[in-house]
Structure 1
């Protein structure tokens, strides 16, 4: 009687490698699914980004905030035209009393009494040094100003600029008409003007 041949059920080495590769691929796919699920859950639990709805970073007290939410330096402010009440005009003379051969030096002081830098026109087109004797108009620089100019300067808060004019004891008239009369000894009043601003009158003496 012939002996029956028994076939081996053990997989071959090629089949074993295929099965092992399939198991590794399945493990990689499962790990990827778990990682994707973990990222999705974390995004749901994460606080919402305040910038996502257009609200932007929270402003910090005491300064404007930049893109990082940190305070940024305040922008520099360019000087502008002086506001009403910012500029004060004062009239004075170098001396109170002047001898017969001494010409008075008239002084206009322009002070920024505001809180910010501002630009002011101090050109000859704006200045006027006028001298009065009682109600008698003696002299004014605006009578004979030639080629008036505009000169704009920046004055800081609390700072001042001065303009000086030496009066040679002559009379003047509008339109720079010739006047032969000479001022006599006595007390005179000097008033300074800058544009629409007018100082208080200061007194000085001619001998």
Structure 2
């Protein structure tokens, strides 16, 4: 009887090369995925660009930073602001409009300006502010008559910059100690003077109809 020939089941050299190539390609793909994931994690952990700018919502709007005032030749900026010196701060008084109809309450505006050469601190709290209204020599109204829980509020003002405070006068009279005054101011011309501590503004004129 003729002997049956047994075929070898061992893969050929070509099959071995194909398998090795497939394994090599799989390893390259896995390495690429790991490298991509590493870059992704690095970008997530990288801090934000400190030079980026944006707006911060502040009370339904945005806050912005004003340009810093340039220093004059021969002057150097101080590391920390000190109290404003005499003559640095000037107080101004004005009204939102000059003439007010019978149903309009005057808005009194106090302006606090730093006319010095350096940043300085000033107390602008209710313990220092006073809005006063006069008619000739007649003292009509002053916020200091009825101020409650006076507070100190210290702010820093840059050279040439100013801050404003507003008060709406409801056309009433007042007296020291917050005594009740029944008389009402009549139509005519009035004067508004703003005070901050020992500093006082010039008197601004306005009219009540």
* TMscore range, shorter length: 0.5 to 0.7
Deviation of 1:179 after TM superposition, in Å, equals: 0.2
What residue is the counterpart of 1:141 in the other structure? Answer: 143
What residue is the counterpart of 1:129 in the other structure? Answer: 131
What residue is the counterpart of 1:82 in the other structure? Answer: 84
- Structure 1 SS opposite 2:193: strand
What residue is the counterpart of 2:198 in the other structure? Answer: 196
Structure with bigger gyration radius: 1
* CA deviation map 1:74-106 (0-9, x unaligned): 784210000000000000000000000000000
What residue is the counterpart of 1:181 in the other structure? Answer: 183
* CA deviation map 1:126-154 (0-9, x unaligned): 00000000000000000000000000000
Consecutive unaligned residues of structure 2, counting only runs of 5 or more, are 1-72
Query: Do the aligned residues in 1 keep the contact of 2:129 with 2:195 (CA within 8 Å)?
Result: yes
Query: Do the aligned residues in 1 keep the contact of 2:95 with 2:107 (CA within 8 Å)?
Result: yes
Deviation of 1:201 after TM superposition, in Å, equals: 0.2
Moved over 6 A (4+): none
* CA deviation map 1:149-194 (0-9, x unaligned): 0000000000000000000000000000000000000000000000
- The TM-score with structure 2 as length reference comes to 0.63
Compute the RMSD of aligned alpha carbons.
1.6
After superposition, the Cα gap between the structure-2 partners of 1:75 and 1:123, relative to the gap in structure 1 and judged at 3 Å, is: closer
- The TM-score with structure 1 as length reference comes to 0.64
What residue is the counterpart of 2:96 in the other structure? Answer: 94
Query: Do the aligned residues in 1 keep the contact of 2:124 with 2:154 (CA within 8 Å)?
Result: yes
Consecutive unaligned residues of structure 1, counting only runs of 5 or more, are 1-61, 64-73
Q: Does 1:162 align with 2:156?
A: no
